[in-house]
Amino acid sequence: MILETIIIVIYTIAIILIFMYSLAQLNLLFNYLSSKKANKVCDTFDLSKPEEVPFVTIQLPVFNEMYVMDRLLDNIALIDYPKDKLEIQVLDDSTDETIETTRLHIEKIQTKGLDIIHITRTDRSGFKAGALKEGLEIAKGEFIAIFDADFLPKPNWLKRTIPYFKDEHIGVVQTRWSHINRNYSILTKIQAFALDAHFTLEQVGRNSKGHFINFNGTAGIWRKDCILDAGNWEGDTLTEDLDLSYRAQLKNWKFKYLEDVETPAELPVVISAARSQQFRWNKGGAENFRKMLKRVISSKNISAKTKIHGLLHLLNSTMFLNVLIVAVLSIPMLYIKNEYAHLRFYFYFMSFFVMSTVIFFICYWFMYKQIYGSGFKNFFSYIGLFFTFFTIAMGFSLHNSIAVLEGHLGKRSEFVRTPKFNISTLKDSWKGNKYLRKKISPHVIIEGILMLYFGFGLYSAFIVGDQGGDFGLFPFHLMLFLGFGYVFFKSISSKM
């Protein structure tokens, strides 16, 4: 009974942590809905007055971006802002032939009168954070806008964001990501679904109540003084954006999130690229929890509620670990349930925690209808997408849990940037992308084993107990079987 007790305790703790996280999401939903009723008026710069137009530096940190570099530069050249108040820095850490093609393209843009410079480094120390920090040393702008290589800001982007900096306490203005290839595949649809939840429910829900949010690494703009006051960019985590965001807000800088300003970008279309992105984000979140835990708890500048939301924010990625624990232990729990009749009241009580899924379902519906609208047709589409998202997200739980554990344990790793594709329709092919890794990760093999393990869980539903089976966990195990199967087969096929 000792082993069974250990399994029950660990399973219960993980279930309760997931439930607590769902309650935090529900609180963010209430914040989100109340923010829609508020009508806050901000004092803004009047850009029609030349004396109120501040100098802006746009930084483009890039690394081996053969497929999107021309598109990025051509798009940035269209930014509508006074040329005498605008500087563009191409922070190019590339190690391939794109260094030369980028240089030639920049020279062509310079002939149009734009102040655009090409900054290269032979030493990639600090990776993206190092490049941003080096560019900042010579930046002319009072404000620093940052775009990754796959982002395509609209010409009026600066005119819609810069005015908010008239409030001297605002250190960052962040915009919402949109997705140029949202409907390319199931993979892009579920990535868009997850990001939409973050950029509506979470960012607005936190920002509207003064809780900490994060600069998302791109599609936002910093006050230069804020970067310097917060301690500048540091490359000791894989999410330098989250790190600097928290250091800035701990020093009382305000962040302004603009849900209505979209910045289009490209989602990874192949699973290996999505895996590398997910690994970096989830490990970086755990690294920042280690780095910021004491600072957040001991801060005298923020409320207890902001501290709680901040810690839950930093622990976002750790939920994957709880999901994996619940998933793996659910099959032993199925047998324990049918072996020990005296525990039936415990299992009745634990069934209450299915409310976590209901809460997520409600929260994400409000996000979905904000983007697509309500109505029966959209609701039924949402139901399918919600369960597809949850299924595949659970399939990623092993991969993301390994990232989380490495982050919490302090294991250092190289910044692996996400390959870009310049793909938006099914007619476009990613097969020839030179930046894709061909080697299959050992994690993929374990995901295949887990697929079989949850297949056994499906079989177990028919054979446990004396009443012709126990199908209470059958839907959960089916989603796990399909989720790990999807991730496994997609990962294998992408290497062929």
Report how far Cα 72 is from the mean position of its chain's Cα atoms.
Answer: 21
β-partners of residue 258 are 175
Q: Catalytic: which of 93, 148, 150, 243?
A: 93
Furthest-apart CA pair in the chain: how many Å?
82
Handedness of CA 312, 287, 133, 66 (dihedral sign): negative
Is residue 241 annotated as part of the catalytic site, yes or no? Answer: yes
The strands making up 86-92's β-sheet, listed across from edge to edge, are 116-120, 86-92, 56-62, 143-146, 220-223, 170-179, 254-265
Q: State whether residue 65 is helix, strand or coil.
A: coil
Residues 76, 147 contacting (CB under 8 angstroms): yes
Amino acid of residue 236: D
Residues 166, 242 contacting (CB under 8 angstroms): no
In the chain, the N- to C-terminal Cα span, in Å, equals: 47
Whole-Å CA distances, 436 to 16, 55, 268, 495? 39, 38, 11, 9
Instruction: Find, among 113, 70, 117, 124, the residue nearest to 89 by Cα.
Output: 117
Token pair belonging to 173: 């203005």
How big, in percent rounded to 5, are the helix, strand and coil portions of the chain?
A: 60, 10, 30
Residue 94: CB atoms within 10 Å? 19
Rounding to the nearest 10 degrees, give the CA dihedral for residues 372, 276, 440, 95: 130
Q: Exposed (0-12), middle (13-18) or buried (19+): which is 226, by Cβ within 10 Å?
A: buried
Residues 457, 473 contacting (CB under 8 angstroms): yes
Token pair belonging to 85: 């108040």
Q: Catalytic: which of 92, 196, 241, 243?
A: 241
- Within 13 Å and on the Cβ side, how many CA atoms surround 440? 16
Q: State whether residue 355 is helix, strand or coil.
A: helix
Non-local CB neighbours of 229 within 8 Å, separated by 6+ positions: 248, 251, 253
At residue 279's C-alpha, the angle toward residues 277 and 285, to 5°, is 105
What is the C-alpha to C-alpha distance for residues 142 and 62, in angstroms, rounded to an integer?
Answer: 22
What is the C-alpha to C-alpha distance for residues 349 and 344, in angstroms, rounded to an integer?
Answer: 9
What is the C-alpha to C-alpha distance for residues 404 and 406, in angstroms, rounded to an integer?
Answer: 5
Is residue 243 annotated as part of the catalytic site, yes or no? Answer: no
The residues annotated with a catalytic role in the active site are: 93, 241
